[in-house]
Amino acid sequence: RKEVEQDPGPFNVPEGATVAFNCTYSNSASQSFFWYRQDCRKEPKLLMSVYSSGNEDGRFTAQLNRASQYISLLIRDSKLSDSATYLCVVNMGGTGGFKTIFGAGTRLFVKA
């Protein structure tokens, strides 16, 4: 089982749609969680951290369910500029200390 698993996608949605991405992780001792965005042929950049209480940043809402080991990202009122790959990220313990593990990513295409 992969340490971090995401919906494979791609998601093709019209502008203005609401889209949700899901992610599960295998290590129950994982400490922190993030969503990153990666544009084509670029490095990933932090979109938002994910907190147990849930958190919102404009049109983006992230949620964490530790009991189910599940993370989600909701994008409301999608824009063309939201087209990108969204990566679920988990920090978990390893032999050499905590390590940052990325999911394979879910591609989002927002169409006019």
Binder to another protein among 84, 103, 108, 110 (CB under 8 A)? 103
Please tell me whether residue 18 binds another protein under the rule CB under 8 A: no
User: What is the closest distance, in whole angstroms, from the C-beta atom of residue 61 to another protein in the complex?
Assistant: 18
Number of CB atoms found within 10 A of residue 7's CB:
18
Q: Indicate whether 55 belongs to the interface with another protein (CB under 8 A).
A: no
Looking at residue 104, what DSSP letter applies?
A: -
Which of 59, 79, 99, 111 is in the footprint of another protein by CB under 8 A? 99
The yes or no reply on residue 101 touching another protein (CB under 8 A) is: yes
Work out whether 91 is an interface residue with another protein (CB under 8 A). Answer: yes
Would you say 58 or 97 has its CB closer to another protein? 97
Concatenating the DSSP letter of every residue in 26-40 gives: S-TT--EEEEEEE-T
Tokens (6 digits) for 98: 């905590």
**Distance separating alpha carbons of residues 73 and 75, to the nearest angstrom:** 7
Element (H, E) at 5: strand 4-6
Site residues for another protein per CB under 8 A: 31-32, 34, 41-46, 49, 87, 89, 91, 93-105
